[in-house]
Amino acid sequence: MKRGMIAAALRLFVIQGSMNHERLQGLGAAVAIEPLVRDLPRGATGDGAQGAVARAAGFFNTHPYLAGLAVGALAKAEHEGVPPNQVERLRSALKGPLGSIGDRLIWAGTLPALSAGALVLTTVTPPLVAVAAFLVGYNTVHLLVRWWALQAGWRSGMTVGRALRNPVLRGALRIVGPLAALSVGFALPVLAARLTAGFDAVTRWGTAGIGLATVLVTWWLVPTIGAARFGLLTLGAVFVLGWLW
């Protein structure tokens, strides 16, 4: 294992800690890459570790869990003596794909699937058990993704595109979206049945009607007024109804 890999992995946990409008995650990426290029001799680029860190500090933004793929690949490219302009192009080329893959894999897949599973668990186990199961499952996935990304980036260097074609990653992307939809679809009626267990028939049907009306209004209004405005309007309506009740 490359010396400095563990230090880089730990620093990647705070890659968003110094985000700003000018460079976004750039400063965090520079902090993370430093242990991997600390032993970089002055070579074709003529600036060694200092130049590598400075290049990594440029504008950069992607999914934080997959940022290690870019950090590892950039560090390996610097050790291989790749010209600075090619290193810059590699960094720019990785932002979009890593952000898209990370969003699909984590925010649109793993997180809703495990959240729905934890909610279902609350109906059959104490709430703390469900919370613990969610935290263990989610953090196991996200830690494995972080470590794999950094290792794969270092192994690949300029050929990092091959890591994005990894069969396991591609298979996970195919599975995780439908799994999330299935989990949420299963969780909703289970939770509805649990939450309305003490209601009479009229109240249950009224609750179902309100839920259906909310879905239809959301589908109709959000594209027109935007999600943020709709959320604020909904929050205001809830306060008013609560006060009247």
Same-domain pairing of 208 and 171 = no
Distance between CA 18 and CA 23 in Å, rounded?
A: 9
Distances (CA, A) of 56 to 41, 47, 153: 17, 13, 14
Same-domain pairing of 213 and 131 = no
Same-domain pairing of 33 and 122 = yes
Same-domain pairing of 177 and 63 = yes
Mean pLDDT of 194-208: 83
Same-domain pairing of 92 and 148 = yes
Read off the pLDDT band of 140 (50, 70, 90): very high
Same-domain pairing of 218 and 177 = no
Task: Quick: pLDDT tens for 35-59.
Answer: 999 988 765 445 788 999 999 999 9
Strand-pairing partners, residue 24, are 60
Same-domain pairing of 150 and 242 = no
Same-domain pairing of 30 and 88 = yes
Handedness of CA 13, 227, 208, 185 (dihedral sign): negative
Helix axes 111-121, 127-156, angle to 10 degrees: 160
Residue-number span of the structural domain to which 241 is assigned: 201-245
Same-domain pairing of 134 and 236 = no
- Domain ends where: 180, 195, 210? 195
User: What's the pLDDT score for residue 59?
Assistant: 93
Same-domain pairing of 167 and 242 = no
Same-domain pairing of 176 and 158 = yes
Q: How far is CA 72 from the centre of its chain?
A: 18
Q: How many domains does the chain have?
A: 2
Same-domain pairing of 185 and 225 = no
Instruction: Please enumerate in sequence order all residues whose Cβ is within 8 A of that of 30, keeping only pairs 6 or more positions apart, or say none.
Output: 53, 54, 56, 57
Task: Quick: pLDDT tens for 209-221.
Answer: 888 888 888 888 8
| Averaged pLDDT of the chain | 90
